Amino acid sequence: MTKSEQLFQEAVTLMPGGVNSPVRAFGSVQETPRFIERADGAYMTDADGNTYIDFVGSWGPMILGHNHPEVLKSVTETAAKGLSFGAATENEVKMARLICSMVPSVEMVRMVNSGTEAVMSAIRAARGFTRRNKIIKFMGCYHGHTDAMLVKAGSGVMTAGIPDSAGVPAGCTQDTLSAEYNNLESVQALFERCPEEIAAVIVEPVGANMGVVPPVEGFLSGLRALCDKYDSLLIFDEVITGFRLSAGGAQEYFGVKPDLTTFGKIIGAGMPVGAYGGRREIMEMVSPVGSVYQAGTLSGNPVAMAAGLSQLSILQNTPDFYKELNAKGDWFFGELDKLLERYAVPHCLNHIGSLGCVFFTGEQVNDYASAKTADTAAYGRYFAYMLNHGVYLAPSQFEAMFLSAAHGRETELAKTLQTVEDYVKENY
């Protein structure tokens, strides 16, 4: 038995599925999770000493690669001064200033501890501001695991094939309306059904929890127009796209301004961090200024702020950072697509910037229904081969591949393309 197998054997007796988040389980791809011991740059090493080129990047935040020396330095220096105060710090001010300066629509921000919390809080602020209750979300989009957001959600919910979660009372989801991604008519129909009840539309500006599904031309601007027409708020969930597609996230990339934005782990460079922010008049609804209550001892934690400040400053101050990262994504995913084409592998490769996904389907994927046409067993075989040949992909068809600045074209990416070619040559 490998060390990972031994650890997993005990883990399943102590934690549900042996993991602390379902997306870490390898059940759907019939493998044993690799227990990770350390990570550097584009690589992760497991408990048995196997090294992998990592395309998960802790689900997004490791955009500079693992263990970036400047981030690490600022974390260790800050940790030496105390781990948590439950009181205001200068770094929180610097962080708020940085986020507001980088993201076009954010005038005020509140730090929280995860993307889930950010969404939960942004929705409360939207409801408080509009004095309305209903929220429109899209099938296949994932906004964390609060009750109201698990309706037809992406990510682990989609991998498990469960439409919604048990343990969520009907009362908690009666105000959640589901629309189809990339389909403005489905949103229009919901607005027409309850024109004065919809507090907000929440959307991942790039669907990145049902695989990767970019917005079609006019979808995001169309949502903006519908929200304006019906006096509703537009919330962009930029947990994945924020500080990844561009310094100002998807809203800058596509030139569409939401009213509120949620962010997650990328702000903390891998430390547990989230944030929500947006128009000043909405954020001033939040306690202690306004009557929308939201709180947290660990919010703005000094060590997490130090990590995030360091990462975001590098992203802001490195000339052409996003131009180069996105060009690398265009090249890599373009090569991957051509390769799969050459070996006649039925597939749809969706990509935008440094995010991409190979769907094992012959259909064009532009929403939840088309994503679900993917052959998950075929993905599982591909995943297992890649894993056992040193390439760590998400253990689910319905997740993104994340490139980082640490992935080199001639090195890690070339090796990955070669490994894919070896696999398809043998199997297609």
Ligand X SMILES: NCC(=O)CCC(=O)O
- Interface residues with ligand X (CB under 6 A)? 21, 23, 59, 142, 155-156, 209, 399
Q: How far is CA 264 from the centre of its chain?
A: 8
Q: Which residues of 276-315 are buried (b: 16+ CB within 10 A; e: fewer)?
A: bbbbeebbebbeeeeebebeeebbbbbbbbbbbbbbbebb
**81 catalytic per annotation:** no
In the sheet that 401-402 helps form, which strands lie side by side, from edge to edge? 348-352, 355-359, 401-402
CB 71 within 8 A of CB 65: no
Helices (H), 154-248: 156-160, 170-173, 184-193, 219-229
Q: Widest CA span of the chain, in angstroms?
A: 63
Closest CB to ligand X among 129 and 276? 276
Closest CB to ligand X among 122 and 345? 122
What CA–CA distance (Å, rounded) separates 27 from 31?
A: 6
Output the smallest distance, CB 231 to ligand X, in A: 31
Output the smallest distance, CB 405 to ligand X, in A: 21
106-110-116 Cα angle (round to 5): 100
Residue nearest to ligand X according to CB distances in the complex? 21
Query: What's the length of the chain?
Result: 428
Output the smallest distance, CB 261 to ligand X, in A: 17
Output the smallest distance, CB 227 to ligand X, in A: 25
Output the smallest distance, CB 60 to ligand X, in A: 8
Closest CB to ligand X among 74 and 209? 209
Out of 142, 181, 322, 368, the active site residue is 142
Helix (H) or strand (E) holding 261: strand 260-263
String of DSSP letters for 175-186: TEEEE-TT-HHH
**368 catalytic per annotation:** no
Closest CB to ligand X among 21 and 101? 21
Strands 198-203 and 134-138: parallel
Closest CB to ligand X among 26 and 142? 142
- The two tokens of residue 190 are 């919901």
Output the smallest distance, CB 382 to ligand X, in A: 18
The pairs formed by 321-324 with CB atoms below 8 angstroms and a separation of 24 or more are 321/247, 321/405, 322/245, 322/246, 322/247, 322/353, 324/405
Output the smallest distance, CB 100 to ligand X, in A: 26
Residue with tokens 């330095």: 73
Taking 3-state DSSP, the helix, strand and coil percentages for the chain, each rounded to the nearest 5, stand at: 45, 15, 40
Closest CB to ligand X among 155 and 182? 155
Out of 134, 152, 257, 265, the active site residue is 265
Distances (CA, A) of 142 to 21, 182, 372, 386: 14, 15, 15, 26
Out of 46, 175, 237, 367, the active site residue is 237
What CA–CA distance (Å, rounded) separates 420 from 417?
A: 5
Output the smallest distance, CB 199 to ligand X, in A: 24
Closest CB to ligand X among 23 and 403? 23
Closest CB to ligand X among 104 and 272? 272
Residue with tokens 């600022």: 74
Q: 57, 68, 104: which is closest to 265 by C-alpha?
A: 57
What CA–CA distance (Å, rounded) separates 190 from 419?
A: 46
**43 catalytic per annotation:** no
Residues classed as catalytic: 142, 237, 265
